[in-house]
């Protein structure tokens, strides 16, 4: 780990133990975003700021259900030859979030897949769509793309709250909200329920792993880019530790949810060991993967590891991009946190997803 980041993590941990949560949380933004911010009171002078966690509440409280307001409440243009990108809002009755939905020109002709894309900290749907170029792929191939937007009220840096115990389970917190939003979009549009997928970057990747673990009956496969395994942290100190050196969760058998992982081996924000942890949580570690090293023409080299079941079924893929940092591999410079020199994560995730339609799965932990 870079000495500066290691020193910063140590400072944040000391502040948490000393009870200065506001100062500690202000130290975490650079660990997720690499961007500077003004130091909060109690922070070391000239320290990079990192905001990961703050005390935040949803308003109104869960006791007062919010009225459901979807994209039908805004002007929704008819799909054209280039598709449409429309705003909306949805949730689970206890909390809501804004979103953007890409509707491809093929909508209405037949049931189409849906890819849910969870942005990273400081990003928003437009930025994430531009950086990943997922809408362009959706226009060519014919699928919907849903981009939920984290609110600054829930997290000032727009991080999904993957590290909080109240946002890691089926039927609770942000996983319940995102699952309800997904189901609402499925009900309003011609979505094929066997081909619904979720992917994300950084904090969004960590939340995507949680959704796959909590809702295997909804999401057929998962893409985790520069993220962490479900349950890797239960609070701020363990989140810092997981980001620093990996944080495989204490879980039982592998989930079996098909998962594709992209992670740069030069990532100084979320340690590359977390990519291995995500694969282990999905596929287990009983069999050695098939591995091959290749290069992008004029770009980066990478190692692709394919994990199979004893019967030969692909359970997981792990793409380790050599020399890449905390950025979407093969992305466009029009968006933030992208590495155009790497293999195309959007193309490879889509290939992986479409090869894994949802099989019949019994909902875990109840049916919420």
CATH code of the domain containing 346: 3.40.50.1820
Q: Are 150 and 158 in contact (CB under 8 A)?
A: yes
The dihedral formed by the CA atoms of 266, 267, 268 and 273, expressed in degrees to the nearest 10:
-100
Q: Is residue 217 part of a domain?
A: yes
Q: Do 29 and 143 fall within a single domain?
A: no
Q: What b/e string do you get for 129-150 counting C-beta neighbours within 10 Å, with b at 16 or more?
A: bbbbbbbbbbbeebbbbbbbbb
Same domain (yes/no): 343, 295: yes
What's the average model confidence in pLDDT over 224-231? 96
Q: Is residue 62 part of a domain?
A: no
The DSSP annotation for 155-195 comes to: -TT----TTSGGGSSTTSHHHHHHHHHHHHHHHHTTEEEEE
- What does the chain come to in residues? 368
pTM of the model: 0.81
Contact 234, 163 (CB under 8 A): yes
Owner of token pair 């190692």 = 303
- Could you tell me if 208 and 202 are in contact, meaning their C-beta atoms sit under 8 angstroms apart? no
- Say whether both 40 and 134 belong to one domain: no
Given a cut of 80, whether residue 286 has pLDDT beyond it is no
Asked whether residue 68 carries a pLDDT value surpassing 50, the answer given is no
Do 28 and 159 belong together in one domain? no
- Domain holding 23, by residue range, is 1-51
Provide the number of structural domains found in the chain. 2
Q: What are the residues whose beta carbons fall under 8 Å from the beta carbon of 18, sequence distance 6 or more? A: none
123 located within any domain: yes
pLDDT of the residue at 359: 80
Do 13 and 162 share a domain, yes or no? no
Let me know whether 18 and 142 are in one domain.
no
CB burial string 91-116: b at 16+ within 10 A, e below? bbebbbbbbbbbbbebbeeeebbbbb
pLDDT band at 40 (very low <50, low <70, confident <90, very high): very low
Residue 291, pLDDT score:
95
| For the chain, percent of residues with pLDDT exceeding 70 | 74
Beta partners for 320? 263, 303
The reply to whether 59 falls in a domain is no
* 39 and 100 together in one domain: no
What would the mean pLDDT of 166-172 be, rounded to a whole number? 95
Structure tokens at 176: 């319940």
Asked if residue 305 is part of any domain, the answer here is: yes
| 201 located within any domain | yes
């Amino acid at each position: 780990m870079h000495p500066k980041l290691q020193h910063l993590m140590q400072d944040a941990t000391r502040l948490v133990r000393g009870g200065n949560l506001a100062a500690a949380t202000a130290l975490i933004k650079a660990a997720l975003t690499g961007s500077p911010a003004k130091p909060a009171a109690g922070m070391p002078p000239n320290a990079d700021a990192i905001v990961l966690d703050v005390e935040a509440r949803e308003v109104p409280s869960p006791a007062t259900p919010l009225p459901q307001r979807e994209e039908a409440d805004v002007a929704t243009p008819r799909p054209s030859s280039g598709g449409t990108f429309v705003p909306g809002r949805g949730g689970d009755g206890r909390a809501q979030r804004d979103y953007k939905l890409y509707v491809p020109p093929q909508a209405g002709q037949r049931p189409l897949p849906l890819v849910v894309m969870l942005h990273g900290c400081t990003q928003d749907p437009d930025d994430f769509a531009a950086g990943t170029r997922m809408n362009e792929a959706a226009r060519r191939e014919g699928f919907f793309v849903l981009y939920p937007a984290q609110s600054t009220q829930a997290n000032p840096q727009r991080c999904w709250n993957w590290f909080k115990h109240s946002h890691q389970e089926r039927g609770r917190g942000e996983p319940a909200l995102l699952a309800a939003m997904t189901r609402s979009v499925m009900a309003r549009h011609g979505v094929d329920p066997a081909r619904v997928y979720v992917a994300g970057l950084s904090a969004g990747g960590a939340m995507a792993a949680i959704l796959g673990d909590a809702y295997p009956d909804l999401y057929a496969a998962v893409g985790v880019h520069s993220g962490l395994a479900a349950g890797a942290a239960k609070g701020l100190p363990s989140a810092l530790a997981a980001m620093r050196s990996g944080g495989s969760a204490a879980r039982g058998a592998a989930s079996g949810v098909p998962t594709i992982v992209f992670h740069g081996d030069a990532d100084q924000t979320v340690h590359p060991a977390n990519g291995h942890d995500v694969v282990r949580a999905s596929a287990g570690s009983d069999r050695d993967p098939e591995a091959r090293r290749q290069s992008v023409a004029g770009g980066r080299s990478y190692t692709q590891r394919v994990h199979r079941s004893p019967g030969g079924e692909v359970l997981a893929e792990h793409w380790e991009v050599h020399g890449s940092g905390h950025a979407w591999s093969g992305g466009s410079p029009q968006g933030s946190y992208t590495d155009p020199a790497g293999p195309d994560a959007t193309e490879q995730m889509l290939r992986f997803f479409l090869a894994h339609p949802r099989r019949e799965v019994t909902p875990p932990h109840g049916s919420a």
